[in-house]
Amino acid sequence: PRVELAWAMKAHQHAQVYFNLISSVDPKFLNLTKVDELIYQEFRQTFRDLRVDVLDPEELKSEPAK
């Protein structure tokens, strides 16, 4: 149990640092991986009209969205 607790505490500290880092940068300048642009291009090819700023669960469940 002590090892698990120590691991959980370290994971929590790491998550806090990571969250603070990504929260302090404007998202348009944030790159998490070397292939972010490629991932985004592929996403946009597949989901051309999907608004990612506001996701509507009902819209995602619609037949055209499927």
6-15: per-residue pLDDT in tens? 999 999 999 9
Q: Which amino acid is at 43?
A: F
Tens digit of pLDDT for each residue in 10-52? 999 999 998 998 899 888 888 888 999 999 999 999 988 888 8
DSSP 8-state class, residue 16: H
Residue 40 CA neighbour count, 13 Å, CB half: 10
**How many residues belong to the chain?**
66
CA distance 39 to 11: 27
CA distance 66 to 3: 44
- This prediction has a pTM of 0.51
DSSP 8-state class, residue 49: T
For the chain, the domains span: 1-65
